[in-house]
Amino acid sequence: MIGAQWGDEGKGKITDLLSKSADVVVRYQGGVNAGHTVVVDGQTFKLHLIPSGILYPDTECVIGSGTVIDPGSLIQELDTLERLNVSTEKLYISETAHVTMPYHRLIDQASEEKRGSKKIGTTKRGIGPTYADKSERTGIRVVDLMDYDALREQLEWTIQYKNGILEKLYGLDPLDPKAVLDEYIQYAERLRPHVIDSSLHVYKAIQQRQNVLFEGAQGTLLDLDHGTYPYVTSSNPVAGGACIGAGIGPTVVDRVIGVAKAYTTRVGEGPFPTELHCDVGSLLCERGAEFGTTTGRQRRCGWFDAVIGRYAVRINGLDCLAITKLDVLDDVDEIKVCVAYDLDGETRKELPGSARQFARCQPVYETLPGWNTSTSDCRSLDDLPKQALDYLKFLAELMKVPIAIVSLGASRDQTIIVEDPIHGPKRALLQEGNSQKSPSRVG
């Protein structure tokens, strides 16, 4: 299950919803820069590293090797859940996941500030520098964290090297290697009971014909290789990234579910063709509570962009969509949908690869009537106003993929299940949607 926009699509709620039918939920990329919000019985849970399936006591949750783990933040998350009487006994952590260290956070913060007007808009949580060390083969993994001597030897050289960068490039104070070692050894002891060979664990679950749900963080347009570079994250949120980040082969994946808002939002820097700088944009922000779970930053809001929607369908091989926050549009008189871009006088229906070209794209809109009535209590398609149903059908037609779930609020029960993506179809909103795989297969 992946985000089909720039992240913040409401994946936490959809993962929580699907986790009821899942035996194992696997988070396969990203770090504490992710934020998933789940509301159950009026209680709000904010998750960053731990998969959203944690709220089901019988569901196993795995943090895969493709993630980067800030152990201090993870322990805070564990403590918060346990205070709320949520069991974390079935949380497992990959021994080969990389660890975010104090110097990663410091370098991330200093680097972003040094960029000035060229800043990317990172969360400053050290995610990029952690992945950079992973690629440079100087990173520290969870398995190293579990070995005092190995960690001490690695930190002796690494912190000396990183201190040179902190002092000479950024003018910051150096880190004390012993203080860092002592801090992280304490983390290791707390996390040790959860550390496993996660790839083997997931493989065994698949061999036993269990339902395994792979949970992506961020969104397709933030993918390092396929997103709107350079305004992207440092990992691969797209569906293909699940295989690498979880340590499984592509042939075991039965279904790919995309999550998209009924409009579009974006956090941080970068081009945003359908962004609204008007009262409607403010309305979407206010009604949608568009503030980041991780940073609290206000999200930029705009109309639904079918160009990036079609791109997400293609890049991920989406079988179906979950459309969230339809209720946010309840009081909008007219709703616009971007169906193409105007790039220097030429109509483009595909996303340009050049960031400079993308910045010049102007949206080509089609306008649909609003419904001006509340949808938050709707629990079936028949309950929806005709204009709301027509809007959903229009989106499905544009992207040539069926809509399986419609979310109309933050709570679990504020949802219309058109078709169960895990246990097979009941009734597809777009029957002629181009699903790449047989919908009768288990998700």
Q: How far, CA to CA in Å, does 310 sit from each of 229, 289, 320, 350, 356? A: 18, 26, 12, 8, 21
**Rounded distance between C-alpha atoms, residue 367 and residue 370, angstroms:** 9
**Rounded distance between C-alpha atoms, residue 154 and residue 195, angstroms:** 20
**Rounded distance between C-alpha atoms, residue 197 and residue 96, angstroms:** 8
16, 36, 108, 144: which is the annotated catalytic residue? 36
**Rounded distance between C-alpha atoms, residue 239 and residue 256, angstroms:** 7
Q: Which residues lie closer than 8 Å to 53 by C-beta, 6 or more apart?
A: 15, 16, 19, 22, 24, 25, 59, 60, 61, 213, 215
* Local structure of 153: helix, strand or coil: helix
With beta carbons less than 8 A apart as the criterion, state whether 29 and 235 touch: yes
**Rounded distance between C-alpha atoms, residue 407 and residue 258, angstroms:** 13
DSSP string, 358-426: HHH-EEEEEEEE---S--TT--SGGGS-HHHHHHHHHHHHHHTS-EEEEE-SSBTTSEEESSBTTTB-S
Long-range contacts made by residues 161-165, C-beta under 8 angstroms, separation at least 24?
A: 162/103, 162/107, 163/103, 165/103, 165/107
Tokens describing residue 281: 């944009």
Q: Which residues lie closer than 8 Å to 208 by C-beta, 6 or more apart?
A: none
**Rounded distance between C-alpha atoms, residue 117 and residue 87, angstroms:** 44
Closest to 369 measured CA to CA, from 350, 391, 348: 391
Determine whether 423 is an active site residue: no
With beta carbons less than 8 A apart as the criterion, state whether 320 and 404 touch: yes
With beta carbons less than 8 A apart as the criterion, state whether 180 and 155 touch: yes
Determine whether 36 is an active site residue: yes
> 169-186 burial by CB neighbour count: b if 16+ within 10 A, else e?
eeebeebebeebbeebee
* Local structure of 299: helix, strand or coil: coil
**Rounded distance between C-alpha atoms, residue 302 and residue 284, angstroms:** 8
Burial (CB count <10 Å: 0-12, 13-18, 19+), residue 410: buried
Positions annotated as catalytic residues are 8, 36
